[in-house]
Amino acid sequence: GDSVTQMEGPVTLSEEAFLTINCTYTATGYPSLFWYVQYPGEGLQLLLKATKADDKGSNKGFEATYRKETTSFHLEKGSVQVSDSAVYFCALSENYPFNDYKLSFGAGTTVTVRA
């Protein structure tokens, strides 16, 4: 079945440091890939997504590229801020050709940015 494996945390960084969170996936079709963020006490928010190979999703300075050859969707940000402290989830949805309706999530990576 579908699965997502992401880098274990917690990750602690200083402000303005470079952040990368690794994510790899297993899927039988052509999934869409997502990064969600969960701030303390809040629900999940979509951070970015990519729906086909070689697409790059980007938002709020974060980027991730859909790499089919390595089945990866690593999240990167060049200069983090304290406000980026959150739990980050990599997820996939297998839309084609199976019309799978669910999101399959990784276990999450807790990121703490110190001033």
Partner 1 sequence: ETGVTQSPTHLIKTRGQQVTLRCSSQSGHNTVSWYQQALGQGPQFIFQYYREEENGRGNFPPRFSGLQFPNYSSELNVNALELDDSALYLCASSLGQTLDHNTEAFFGQGTRLTVV
Contact residues for partner 1, defined by CB under 8 A: 4, 32, 34, 36, 41-46, 49, 51, 89, 91, 93, 95, 99-108
Q: How many C-alpha atoms does 68 have within 13 Å on its Cβ side?
A: 11
Residues with Cβ within 8 Å of 49's Cβ and at least 6 positions away in sequence, in order, are 32, 33, 34, 35, 57
Q: How far is the CB of 80 from partner 1 (least distance, A)?
A: 22
Specify the residue, 17 or 67, whose C-beta has the smaller distance to partner 1.
67
Specify the residue, 41 or 70, whose C-beta has the smaller distance to partner 1.
41
Please tell me the distance from the alpha carbon of residue 110 to that of residue 13, in angstroms, as a whole number.
11
Q: How far is the CB of 29 from partner 1 (least distance, A)?
A: 12
Q: How far is the CB of 76 from partner 1 (least distance, A)?
A: 20
Specify the residue, 14 or 83, whose C-beta has the smaller distance to partner 1.
83
